[in-house]
Structure 1
Amino acid sequence: MTDGALHRHYLHYSELPYSMRVLYTAALLVLSLGYLFALVYIFHTYAGRAGGSPNMMSYDDLVVAYAGSGKGSRLESALRGPMSTMLPPDESQPIVAWVQAGADRARYDKDIKPVIDKRCMSCHDGSNPHIANLGNWETMKKLTEQDTGADIFTLVRVSHIHLFGLTFIFFIVGLIFSHAYVRPVWFKCVVIAVPYVCLTCDIFSWYIVKVFHPFAWVTMGAGAVMGMSFALMWLISMYQLWFSKTPKPVAQRSGAETMIVG
């Protein structure tokens, strides 16, 4: 891993045909858009879960998401957190009062269900398996039980989706970034490897937070570093793909200051 002569198998972007450079660029653009939407979804899902501002995601929000609030039901946490803007206070407060009073079926049918049908069923109609179906009494009853955060089965399901999905994403981005000329080489290798370390820490932290709340800082830190690694690889790759000059060692190896590509 020295910084001397270029590895015989190393190819800089300037040595690649334009067709491959266009392919890399298109992949980076689409992946960055997907990553941006993922960040928006994460923010919308977790911000305000602890009852704070829905415009800011905090340590307490992550603790409530994974370990539960310990102070009420999941339905109450949702109405006071991410769903607080979906219902006016004069409709959400009676639902909270109904939950705290024992969540009896008779009052649900008379007073609560009409509000749920009016405000919630456009999304919570059962068409999305990842969102609670509020159209049946059994689900509603479970949501009125004490909030213990995401259950283990849910974490396992989300874990394998994240592990497979993000591994493919960072493999593609890392493969493209491997063509970048970055020195020292060890730093380049660290940037490529860090997202996988952060991904593993992030996934395992979800389970640990359920029993040790301060580990939520690991969740936040791992996600932040993973995002910075993605941004760094993306920016360097895009810059060297189209805007930077051919690095001198690459040009000298090929005997030309400007590479001819096609």
Structure 2
Amino acid sequence: MGETNYRSGIDRRSEAYGHNTAYRRFRHISVSERILNTAFLLTIAIGYMVALANMYYTHQSRDGIAGLSIDDVIIAYHGSDDQTRLGAAIKGIMEPNLKYKSDKDIILKWIQNGAKEPEYNDHIAPILNRDCIICHAPAINPSLPDLTHYSGVAEVAHASGASLPFLIRISHIHLFGMAFLLFFIGKTFLLCDLNNIVKRVSIIIPFAAMLLDVLSWFLTKSFPAFAYVVVASGALMGISMGMQILVSIYQMWFYPGNKFR
């Protein structure tokens, strides 16, 4: 009896302060919590923009044409008889990193001649060790191709696309990292005043798009047409995540009838 009266008192006090004991909304949180949520969401938004820029500069010009295209995605995951990842990088994003311009022709000629190991040891390894492994080493950046030894260089010097170990490595990093971000973004988005069905669908879409995106990396390795799925699913995840961020920030600060505490 005493516990029932105690809980009833809590319910009455919650109602008096505008709280719903089942659900919370942005109108129930303090200004301090709004500032924390907004800072987190804006930081994630900026970080995602930087990630897009990194993706662009990592994959662009693989087909020998300036800019990022569907052919660049196909070459990155499936490979090409005319292009290799190392050759495209040397002719594109990595060219400014070479100390001597003549090194570009040396590497390209080596690739055209079959990228064999004896020539690698004599002519290619010194160039890569001097100019490239500052970034392309597992201990420094495990998401980039490993250029510290011949087997790692051979993976990107032949027209084979992304290797299975490489796809598994970047997949587990991507899935773990994005799952945490999408969870906290969705947790904040739940405080919006929206139809429950709309919120449930909006929350599940970026998770589904992320899983489809990663799966399509592996499928593109065997079936290049799935490169379109890579682009579409990645765009869907970004758009849905951005929508949650924008709606959450709007309702936190500008929604009619919102109370500041």
**Which SS does the other structure have where 2:144 is aligned?**
coil
Please say which of residues 101-110 and 90-99 is displaced more in the overlay: 101-110
* CA RMSD, Structure 1 to Structure 2 (Å): 2.7
The answer to whether the Cα contact below 8 Å between 1:132 and 1:139 also exists between their aligned partners in 2 is yes
**Greater RCO (Cα-Cα under 8 Å, separation 6 or more):** 1
Distance change in 2, residues 1:133/1:9 (3 Å): same
CA distance in 1, matches of 2:118, 2:225: 41
Distance change in 2, residues 1:133/1:161 (3 Å): closer
TM-superposed CA distance for 1:117, in Å, is 4.3
**Which SS does the other structure have where 1:65 is aligned?**
helix
The answer to whether the Cα contact below 8 Å between 2:62 and 2:83 also exists between their aligned partners in 1 is no
Structure 1 counterpart of 2:255 = 244
Query: Does residue 200 of structure 2 align to residue 192 of structure 1?
Result: no
TM-superposed CA distance for 1:23, in Å, is 2.2
CA distance in 2, matches of 1:133, 1:240: 45
Structure 1: unaligned runs, 5 residues or longer: 1-6, 248-258
Pairing partner for 1:71 from 62, 82, 85: 82
Structure 1 counterpart of 2:218 = 207
CA distance in 2, matches of 1:204, 1:104: 32
Query: Does residue 25 of structure 2 align to residue 12 of structure 1?
Result: yes
TM-superposed CA distance for 1:108, in Å, is 4.6
CA distance in 2, matches of 1:85, 1:118: 13
Distance change in 2, residues 1:124/1:200 (3 Å): closer
CA distance in 2, matches of 1:240, 1:30: 18
The answer to whether the Cα contact below 8 Å between 2:155 and 2:163 also exists between their aligned partners in 1 is no
Question: How high is the TM-score relative to the length of structure 2?
Answer: 0.80
CA distance in 1, matches of 2:212, 2:188: 24
Q: Deviations over 1:147-192 (max 9, x none)?
A: 211111221222222222111111111110111112x442232221
User: What residue identity is the alignment partner of 2:237?
Assistant: M
Distance change in 2, residues 1:14/1:119 (3 Å): same
Q: Deviations over 1:108-129 (max 9, x none)?
A: 5555445434432432355423
User: What residue identity is the alignment partner of 2:200?
Assistant: C
Please say which of residues 221-230 and 70-79 is displaced more in the overlay: 70-79
The answer to whether the Cα contact below 8 Å between 1:51 and 1:80 also exists between their aligned partners in 2 is yes
Structure 2 counterpart of 1:155 = 167
CA distance in 2, matches of 1:85, 1:21: 44
Runs of 4+ in 1 over 6 A off after TM superposition: none
Instruction: Number of aligned residue pairs: give it.
Output: 241
Structure 1 counterpart of 2:111 = 99
Structure 1 counterpart of 2:61 = 48
User: What residue identity is the alignment partner of 1:216?
Assistant: A
The answer to whether the Cα contact below 8 Å between 1:124 and 1:133 also exists between their aligned partners in 2 is yes
Structure 2: unaligned runs, 5 residues or longer: 1-19
The answer to whether the Cα contact below 8 Å between 2:84 and 2:161 also exists between their aligned partners in 1 is no
TM-superposed CA distance for 1:81, in Å, is 4.0
Q: Deviations over 1:124-146 (max 9, x none)?
A: 355423334434445445543x2
TM-superposed CA distance for 1:67, in Å, is 0.6
Distance change in 2, residues 1:162/1:124 (3 Å): closer
